Structure formats: C-alpha cells, structure tokens
Amino acid sequence: MIAANWTPGWRAEQIRALKAGDTEFDLIVIGGGITGAGVYREACARGLTVLLVDQKDFAWGTSSRSSKMVHGGLRYLGKGQFGLAKDSVTERQNLMEQLQGLVDPLPFLMGHYKGGFPGPWVFDKLLAIYDFFAGKKYRKFIESHVQDYWAPGVRSEDLLGVTHFMDAVTDDARLVMRVLDDGNRLGGTALNYLKATDLLRDASGVTSGVCLQDDSSGDTFHVRSRAVVNASGAWTDELRQKLGHKKHIRPLRGSHLVVPFWRLPVSFSVSFFHPEDKRPVFVFPWEGQTVIGTTDLDHKPELNQEAHIHADELRYLLDAANYQFSKAELTASDVTASWSGVRPVVVDGYDSSSDDSDPEQATPSDEKREHMIWDDQGCVSIAGGKLTTFRLLALEVLRAAQPYLSDKLSQRDLTETSDFEPQTLPDSLRLSASVQRRLIGRYGARVHALLKSAEQSDLRHLGTSETLLQELRWACRNECVTHLDDLLLRRVRIGMLQPNGARALIQPLAELLRRELGWSSERWQDEWQRYMGIVQRYYSVPLASSSGGRHD
C-alpha cells in the first residue's frame, strides 16, 4: 500500500495537525529543492521522522531552472579537483542506471579550431580520465570532413574536428518530485508554501524546532524537532544571518533560451566558447525543443522575486548560437520561452553591495563551485550543492546532524546512498517503450496507479509536447498543486517550453483541469491571470533593454 500524500485536502490536514503541536520530529528540512529533497529521502530511508517545508513550491528556485545537466564536471578536472570529478561521474552513472527515463545519456560535441582552445590532444587526455571514472569509453574524435553528419550547421571555418563525449540530462523539477515522493512513501511529510521564519532554541541554545508560517492563511506556529537542516539554496544566508553570521552566498544568474527544434535542430549538446568572452556555452535538445545556455551574472534583484532574463543576456545567447550556427540567423522572434535560475555560489565574506567592476571580487565564472556545511548548534546548513551529487551531499549533511540524533542514527548508517527501486510495466500496455521508460523514470512506484486511473484518451500527447494528458490529471489529484504555475511550470514543463506558456494547449482543457483541482470558476480565472502574468514576466523574451550585469 502506497501512502496517499499530496492528495486533495491532505495538505490542510497536515497543517492542522502541526498547529495542534502534538508531534515532535527527528528532523525538519527547510528547502524543497534537490538538496533538501535528497536529505529528506535519505533521512526517511533510515527510519527518521522527517518534515520538509518550502516557502514556495517544491523546486520553485534553482532546482526547476537549472541547465538540466547531470554531469561529471569536466571543469573539476580542468581545475585538478579529481576527487570531486570522480564522485560526480560515479553518481552520473548511478543515476542513469537507476532513473532511466528521467536521467538519460546526452551526447556532447566539442569543436576544435585551428589556434583555438581546447586542442584535441589536451581534450582527449581530460576525457580519458573522465571515461576511466565512468568505467566506459565514450570519447571519440571525429575528423572535420565528416563532422557535418554529426553536427550539421556547425561553423566549419578552420575546424580541425570535433570530439564526441557523454554526460546526462534530466527534467530537474521532476527529479525533485521523484526524490520527494520516495521520502513520502517512506513515511515523511513534505509541505509546500510553508515558510520557516525562525529557529527555536532550548535553554542551552541548541536548536529545538522552527517557527512556520502558512502562505495560504498567514498563520504562524511552532514545530519541535531534534535537529534542523537548512537547505534553502540562495536563501541560506537569510536564516543564518539571524544567528549572527555574515553572508556567504553570492547569487549568480544563469539564463536560457528555448527555440523550436525545427529552427535549430541538434541531436547532441554542442559545446563551444562564446566569441565575446570565451565562456563555455552550449546548445542542446530537451523535451522536443532546443535550448541555448547559459549566462553567468551577479543577480542583484530580491531573491523572493522570480529571476528572469535581461535584454543583454538575450543578445548574448543569440550571438552565441548565431556564431556557432551562422546559417540559423536566429532573432528574438524565434525564441518561444526563456528561464533563469539563481545559483547559490559560496564565497567567504561576500559583499552583495560591491560593484561588479571591483577588482577584489572574482568574476562570476571564476568563482569555485564548492559546497559548504555549517553546524549552528543543531541547525545544519548546506549551500552550493550540485544537482548531480545530491545523494552524496545528503549523506554529508546527515553526518553533520548525527550527533543530535545519535540514539536513532549512527555514522555507520551513513556510508552508502539509498538506491532507487526498479519498476516494470506489463507488456500488454498500448504505450511505446520510450513513453513507458519516461513514465517509470518520472513516477517510480506511482506509475502503476497513474496508468490504472487513466482512460485511453488520457494517454495522448498534448500537442507536440512529450507530456501526456494523464500526467496533468495525476498531478492535479496527487501532487500538492496549490497554484496553476505549480502544475504547468513544475509538475509538467509545457508552460516553459511552449509559446505563451502553452496557452493554446491549456485553454481547451480549462474546464477539465478546473474540475480536477476542485476550483470554482472565479478561482480558475484568478489563477489563470496569475499564471499568465508569471509567464509573461519571467519566462518570456524581454521587450525592452535592461541591465543584467557583465559576462565574465
């Protein structure tokens, strides 16, 4: 029997129970992105009672707006960080094996040009280490006279050849949901739109719980726990500053463009260096579209506002694509959507008021992407976590919290990550192997219930997307949807991949979705206006020039 978390009315029941004050948890996790979700799952797998809360929706921040890459970290090898690269490659391989259909191989191509960096010989040596860690040879050098077969349209002037190698790609928000749902099935409680406003301390100063505020009612209440994990990403400093600590997070914005696949058809991720500043950029296929990314800029706006692309970033990314694919001649009118995520990069004593041109401050791309963990008497904070290594980071966090949970958890319990359970579907299903793989990867043990509750007509794709109508129905019924943007931007991704937030696909389904969500006509209209406002402001193309910082 699978626990019925996240069904309609379940969230309200849990809030009422928390307000009653009868429950003390072993662990409260603050933050419903991939790092917090990983801690939640690993803690639940070890029999702890765990509450996870997020001030917004699950994966609302960086974990739904990343570059979607589950990678081994070539940049780590380039900086001599071999241990980090080995961990990343090993985890990439594990996730590709255990989460097929959600974490999938993505071939990469890197062009080598006369007098340019990297040269094919040097790059091959780096990739030899990469492949050694993976236990499999992926790299291959392709000479220039046959490159057009592999990467049609790529700039060919002075091209020596291209190197083929392998990393992986995922749907980041669905990965978060899959990880959270595993924790739910293991007895955990995960709640969105519930903000941790402060920590509780006992007489000796040790953390004893959190003060929470419900977004829907504004009510505040206390919940007790033996330890707290602060995995709030770019918001990590917000809680730690209340404990008297200085800032450590430098928020860096990475923006991406979405164009129709037919306008820039690529079967691989094509990696190259931007002609303007020599930063690495890439063009890759994702969910039936083509993505161009990414920028790397200091993010100055308030973190509680959604990040969005700026006009100079739009120009920068279009210039990159048109440089590498000169015949594409892409313009802003070709861009159907965009997204921007804020990376929480850890910097000792970061001064957010300093000017971008400050010579004492490293350029964004030169900042080290290492994580840090702090223990403030039972409040364990982590920042700088990676999508690829979220399970390893979870164990590291739990090792830091273990002294506060010593009667239930030993260090010996924290040496191996918990595997994802394999799932199979009956041969009688009238679904293609690729669709079955995709559904198993995204929904895990819930895939059987998802398909059992579907009519045949619900198993159709929505327009040209890879999303099934049944996935929308399932999310409405079983995935704690509070707002329409939760559904269309994070439970499924059509809102950030289709033109105008998928308006043409969703409007004919409005009545069906309204009924599934149990909303009145007035509530639907309010949510639709809210959703379209979010799409137009944060997931579209900027209409006027704006300053976004410099690219370094």
Task: Give the pLDDT confidence score for residue 230 in this predicted structure.
Answer: 98
Q: What is the mean pLDDT of residues 247-261?
A: 95
Using CA atoms, how far apart are residues 193 and 173, in angstroms rounded to an integer?
16
C-beta of residue 130 within 8 angstroms of C-beta of residue 85: yes
- Picking from 324, 332, 337, 329, the residue whose alpha carbon sits closest to that of residue 269 is 324
Task: Give the pLDDT confidence score for residue 8 in this predicted structure.
Answer: 87
Digit-coded pLDDT (tens) for 459-496: 999 998 999 999 999 999 999 999 999 999 999 999 99
Q: Helix, strand, or coil here: 231? A: coil
Range name among 238-247, 310-319, 320-329, 507-516 with the lowest pLDDT average? 238-247
Model confidence at 43: pLDDT above 70: yes
pLDDT band at 350 (very low <50, low <70, confident <90, very high): low
Digit-coded pLDDT (tens) for 130-143: 999 999 999 999 98
Indicate the average pLDDT of the chain.
92
Whether domain 10-63+173-248+362-414 has CATH 3.50.50.60? yes
Task: Give the pLDDT confidence score for residue 5 in this predicted structure.
Answer: 78
Strands 280-286 and 379-383: unpaired
Of residues 339 and 83, more confidence is placed in: 339
Range name among 2-6, 178-182, 252-256, 411-415 with the lowest pLDDT average? 2-6
Range name among 8-12, 173-177, 182-186, 311-315 with the lowest pLDDT average? 8-12
Digit-coded pLDDT (tens) for 58-95: 999 999 999 999 998 888 888 888 998 999 999 999 99
pLDDT band at 152 (very low <50, low <70, confident <90, very high): confident
Residue with tokens 């029997």: 1
Q: How far is CA 312 from CA 128, 296, 326, 338, in A?
A: 37, 12, 20, 13
Residue with tokens 């429950």: 23
Range name among 110-119, 342-351, 363-372 with the lowest pLDDT average? 363-372
C-beta of residue 307 within 8 angstroms of C-beta of residue 538: yes
- Picking from 448, 470, 449, 476, the residue whose alpha carbon sits closest to that of residue 458 is 470
Please give the share of the chain, as a percent, with pLDDT higher than 90.
82
Q: What is the mean pLDDT of residues 43-51?
A: 98
Structure tokens at 131: 């492949």
Task: Provide the CB-side half-sphere exposure for 181 (13 A, CA).
Answer: 24
Using CA atoms, how far apart are residues 380 and 46, in angstroms rounded to an integer?
18
Annotated domain spans of the chain: 10-63+173-248+362-414, 77-170+250-346, 433-538
Task: Give the pLDDT confidence score for residue 492 in this predicted structure.
Answer: 98
- ∠ CA 375-228-191, rounded to 5°: 145
Model confidence at 296: pLDDT above 90: yes
Could you count the other beta carbons within 10 Å of the beta carbon of residue 348? 8
C-beta of residue 486 within 8 angstroms of C-beta of residue 57: yes
Using CA atoms, how far apart are residues 43 and 395, in angstroms rounded to an integer?
9
Q: What is the mean pLDDT of residues 169-182?
A: 98
C-beta of residue 304 within 8 angstroms of C-beta of residue 234: no
Please give the share of the chain, as a percent, with pLDDT higher than 70.
94
Q: What is the largest CA-CA distance in the chain?
A: 74
Q: What is the mean pLDDT of residues 366-392?
A: 89
Of residues 148 and 542, more confidence is placed in: 542
Exposure of 369 by Cβ count < 10 A (0-12 exposed, 13-18 middle, 19+ buried)?
middle
Structure tokens at 528: 């639709």
Task: Give the pLDDT confidence score for residue 549 in this predicted structure.
Answer: 45
Model confidence at 352: pLDDT above 60: no
List, in order, residues 6 or more apart from 536 with CB less than 8 Å away. 501
Using CA atoms, how far apart are residues 20 and 18, in angstroms rounded to an integer?
5
Using CA atoms, how far apart are residues 291 and 258, in angstroms rounded to an integer?
5
Task: Calculate helix-pair angle for 390-401, 34-45, nearest 10 degrees.
Answer: 60
Model confidence at 366: pLDDT above 80: no
Q: How far is CA 78 from CA 95, 122, 213, 296, 498, in A?
A: 23, 10, 45, 19, 37
Q: What is the pTM of this model?
A: 0.94
Task: Give the pLDDT confidence score for residue 545 in this predicted structure.
Answer: 41
Q: What is the mean pLDDT of residues 1-6?
A: 63
Of residues 255 and 366, more confidence is placed in: 255
Q: What is the mean pLDDT of residues 501-521?
A: 96
Model confidence at 159: pLDDT above 50: yes
Digit-coded pLDDT (tens) for 189-245: 999 999 999 999 999 999 999 999 999 999 999 999 999 999 999 999 999 988 888
Q: Give one word for 27, left, alpha or beta, with left for phi > 0 and alpha for psi -120 to 50.
A: beta
Task: Give the pLDDT confidence score for residue 364 in this predicted structure.
Answer: 58
C-beta of residue 343 within 8 angstroms of C-beta of residue 307: no
Report the topology of domain 433-538.
Helicase, Ruva Protein; domain 3 (1.10.8)
The CATH number of 77-170+250-346 is: 3.30.9.10
Using CA atoms, how far apart are residues 35 and 158, in angstroms rounded to an integer?
43
- Picking from 168, 166, 162, 160, the residue whose alpha carbon sits closest to that of residue 127 is 166
Task: Give the pLDDT confidence score for residue 539 in this predicted structure.
Answer: 98
Q: What is the mean pLDDT of residues 443-457?
A: 95
- Picking from 147, 304, 178, the residue whose alpha carbon sits closest to that of residue 233 is 304
pLDDT band at 429 (very low <50, low <70, confident <90, very high): confident
Q: How far is CA 483 from CA 16, 63, 208, 489, in A?
A: 20, 18, 32, 10
Task: Give the pLDDT confidence score for residue 87 in this predicted structure.
Answer: 95
